[in-house]
Structure 1
Amino acid sequence: MTHRIRAATPADLQHLYEMAKLTGGGFTNLPPDRKSLTAKLERSAAAYADTREGDPDHPRDELFVLVLEDVATGEVRGTAQVFTRVGQQWPFYSYRMATLTQHSKELNRTFRAEMLNLVTDLEGSSEVGGLFLHPSERAGGLGLLLARSRYLFIAMHRRRFGDKILAELRGIIDERGGSPFWDGVAGRFFGMSFQEADYFNAINGNQFIADLMPKHPVYVAMLPESARTAIGLPHPTGRAAMRMLEEEGFAYEGYVDIFDGGPTMTARTDRVRSICEAQEAKVTHVRAPEGSGPVVKSLVAAGKLADYRCTFAELALDGDGVVLDPIAAAALDVGVGDTVWHVRR
């Protein structure tokens, strides 16, 4: 069975909606709302249709939606998203953990207080997010294919993206679908549950945060223990995603999500493993690569913008080109003489 990543189209709405209903909440980029998903797909289609190269002096906040497709059946079994530069249309808020140290000579004691500061430090960064894999497909490395295909897309369209990249991981959600962090911090000011706020954000954006969120630092020691212990922790289902991000070169630098307190991972774009190691090459032969040199299990991508496709492949280096296995070549719709990008699996 062969799967490939391709650009999403408006015809994928029903597939995305069915997957959105399986997320279990706290998944802002994939809300179970047809109107919101339609708007996402329309925004993505506009980005795919815009062939202008990126302009650092006039950055655009574009969204590209990708889907994981079973080549044999055409079924969509997963999705992921890439944002070129967040914070261009409305502020991109995060909390950042900081420490305030104070000393009393009279008491001969030093106090160190941890605080949460509301910041927009990450504006202008690119973002990878919205990754969801259908529960029945969580084997065979398909999550890795979904995640890393985004980095090949960035490498192939590098001028559209920022110098820094971030990934927000879903935070701790309790058995009721609530967030201990939200209940301990923002919920006290908004008069709405986490689920209500998260859904409102997914549908309408987060300007209401700017309107109502207190701008003063929040002292962590004053929060309930349930909220304190949730800060910077990923949801149990996101631990594997966090490890994959760390393997790519992302790190947790104290930024957390303003809704559920989950960690925001960051990296320099050109230091992300799958971006800096990606190579461009011509296909010299389409055949089983055995006998052509060492066989390399890889991710291989082809096509720009709406024609983008990515799949697992076996290949062998052939001078400045590659010998590509026929199954992958068919999934990518490439032949001899075509250009592909590849990175070791």
Structure 2
Amino acid sequence: MSFFMRTARAGDLQTLYEMAKLTGGGFTNLPPDRKSLAAKLERTEQALARQGEGVEDELIVMVLENAQTGQVRGTCQIFSKVGQNWPFYSYRLGVLTQHSRELSRTFRAEMLSLVTDLEGSTEVGGLFLHPRERAEGLGLLLARSRYLYIRNHRARFGERIIAELRGVIDEAGGSPFWDGLAGRFFGMSFQEADEFNAVNGNQFIADLMPKTPIYTAMLTDSARSVIGMPHPNGRAAMRMLETEGFTNPGYVDIFDGGPTMVGQIDALRTIAHASDAVLTAVHEKGGDKMLVTTGRLADFRCTYAFAIEREDGGVSLDRASAQLLGLEPGQTFTMAERA
């Protein structure tokens, strides 16, 4: 395995920009805008330079690098605390039940309510893997490296974690949810709003949208049918989140109607099952394929490695992975099962 995860740096700007152009729109955490991407890298640099503990509003951009070629082929992000500098709005899908004695009927009305329930959560997002690299479990490496980063910097994150999945976008690049709801209040198409949102955030939607609950029966059929549905390309990501321990409690994005998955950090499978070990030897072949990480802040690295538990209580890693991580016998690292 020549691929490894590391924290991003300023020199990754061009590669991130090229990947952003491949996302196909609606990917607000990875906009094809150099200024926005440069700001993300600057925030990452500031977060990695902070030595103190405690939860602050920070962003960590990570990248997947091929050690043999030096090419960056994927990326993901961690927002340590959303909603600190401006409200973090979501729609919460609920049901209002009413009974008419005269008609002897019960009516159940589905409603979207604008809420800030998820303020203060850690958010994982911005996951993108180059189309030519979607094999060998690299998507899992991208996703799960974030959880190991959080585990090994636990004091910098809270208790709850969320992941917003991109909503359904039609073949023309439009959003049925936007057209049926928010688009009626703004004089712009989804594509125009998407570009503005990627650069400036979706606060403009929250500021101008009505704060009263919206009955879904009043929306178009096309808008109603995609509420809480992930983009077809995001279904695998949704399954990965569910396997990790995220649930779908009915929160949806106010922009494209995609689902927001919610979990508890310490209960996530990767974090709960990870353990620290001491490298006592290296070997050439054999062992169980594990997710292995080492280093803090800017020195963080994560890759797949083949591990063998030894009778001395330590662990042996395959030589190539140990070298990739810069590990020497006697040093401590973290590992988690690949599955």
CA distance in 2, matches of 1:196, 1:87: 24
CA distance in 1, matches of 2:105, 2:273: 50
Note the C-alpha offset of 1:289: 6.3
Provide the secondary structure at the position in 1 that maps to 2:206: helix
Provide the secondary structure at the position in 1 that maps to 2:304: strand
TM-score (norm 1): 0.96
Q: Percent identity?
A: 66
1:9 and 2:9 are equivalent in the alignment = yes
**Counterparts of 1:74-89 in structure 2 under 5 Å?**
74-89=70-85
Matching residue of 1:247: 243
CA distance in 1, matches of 2:42, 2:157: 20
CA distance in 2, matches of 1:194, 1:340: 46
Match of 2:291 among 296, 299, 318: 299
1:322 and 2:322 are equivalent in the alignment = no
Match of 2:127 among 131, 140, 156: 131
Matching residue of 2:161: 165
Amino acid at match of 1:32: P
1:101 and 2:104 are equivalent in the alignment = no
Note the C-alpha offset of 1:317: 1.8
Please say if residues 289 and 323 of structure 1, whose CA atoms lie closer than 8 Å, have aligned partners that are also in contact: no
Provide the secondary structure at the position in 2 that maps to 1:32: coil
Structure 2: state its 5+ residue gaps: none
Note the C-alpha offset of 1:67: 0.2
The one-character-per-residue Cα deviations of 1:56-111 (angstroms, maximum 9, x if unpaired) are: xxx41110000000000100000000111111111111111010001111111110
CA distance in 2, matches of 1:246, 1:112: 28
Please say if residues 181 and 231 of structure 1, whose CA atoms lie closer than 8 Å, have aligned partners that are also in contact: yes
CA distance in 1, matches of 2:40, 2:129: 18
Matching residue of 1:200: 196
Amino acid at match of 1:7: T
**Counterparts of 1:123-272 in structure 2 under 5 Å?**
123-272=119-268
CA distance in 1, matches of 2:82, 2:207: 19
**Counterparts of 1:34-113 in structure 2 under 5 Å?**
34-54=34-54, 59-113=55-109
Please say if residues 289 and 315 of structure 1, whose CA atoms lie closer than 8 Å, have aligned partners that are also in contact: no
Note the C-alpha offset of 1:210: 2.9
Amino acid at match of 2:194: D
Matching residue of 1:284: 280
Provide the secondary structure at the position in 2 that maps to 1:190: coil
Amino acid at match of 2:256: D
CA distance in 2, matches of 1:33, 1:226: 30
Please say if residues 289 and 316 of structure 1, whose CA atoms lie closer than 8 Å, have aligned partners that are also in contact: no
Note the C-alpha offset of 1:191: 1.5
Note the C-alpha offset of 1:279: 0.7
Matching residue of 1:333: 326
CA distance in 1, matches of 2:61, 2:171: 30
Provide the secondary structure at the position in 1 that maps to 2:302: strand
Matching residue of 1:273: 269
Please say if residues 289 and 324 of structure 1, whose CA atoms lie closer than 8 Å, have aligned partners that are also in contact: no
The one-character-per-residue Cα deviations of 1:288-313 (angstroms, maximum 9, x if unpaired) are: 364xxxx3211000000100000000
RMSD over equivalenced CA pairs, Å: 1.1
Structure 1: state its 5+ residue gaps: none
Amino acid at match of 1:309: R
Amino acid at match of 1:12: D
CA distance in 1, matches of 2:202, 2:227: 20
1:311 and 2:293 are equivalent in the alignment = no
Match of 1:342 among 327, 335, 338: 335
Figure out how many residues of one structure are paired with residues of the other and give that number.
Answer: 337
Matching residue of 2:118: 122
Matching residue of 2:19: 19
